[in-house]
Amino acid sequence: MRRTAFIASALVLVTCGLTAVAGTAGAVDDKATCAAFNEAWTGLNNRLGALDGPASFSVLRQIYLDTASDLRVVADAADPGALKDALNTAAAQLSRLETATNLDDFDRVMGDPALTAALDEAGTPCGL
């Protein structure tokens, strides 16, 4: 009976240990996270720079929504901590553009101090 209890306890420990390792196995450090964040931000700037004159609302909105998606991917791969939290917040703020149906809505979201603060909080540790 003791042997069975010992084996069961050992299996629980191994299972819990593997679950804990699997939860952080793909995480990357802040340096790699910042490199990915800078790449996403450069992509945003390149797409905005490639616009030839005023873009339609839907094109402009989609560029920022794609960036929000990119930030979520970066945050998902990041080590737990302040930078990951800041990236998730910035992505959530940019994702509010989903509800923008016109340029006034777009301007309201983009002009929100909460968005600016979230982007600053994510960008500052990465040198942006």
**Per residue in 73-127, pLDDT tens?**
999 999 999 999 999 999 999 999 999 999 899 999 999 999 999 999 999 999 8
Task: Write down the pLDDT at residue 111.
Answer: 96
Long-range contacts made by residues 9-14, C-beta under 8 angstroms, separation at least 24? none
Rounded Cα distance between 10 and 26, Å, is: 25
What residues make up the domain containing 60? Answer: 28-126
**Per residue in 17-73, pLDDT tens?**
333 333 444 678 999 999 999 999 999 999 999 987 777 888 999 999 999 999 999
Task: Write down the pLDDT at residue 19.
Answer: 35
Number of neighbouring beta carbons within 10 Å of residue 71: 28
Residue 54 one-letter amino acid = P
| 17 located within any domain | no
Task: Write down the pLDDT at residue 104.
Answer: 94
| 91 located within any domain | yes
Task: Write down the pLDDT at residue 76.
Answer: 96
* Per-state percent for the chain, helix, strand, coil, to nearest 5: 80, 0, 15
Residue 89 one-letter amino acid = T
If one counts the domains in the chain, the total is 1
Rounded Cα distance between 101 and 1, Å, is: 67
pLDDT range class, residue 128, cuts 50, 70, 90: confident
| 12 located within any domain | no
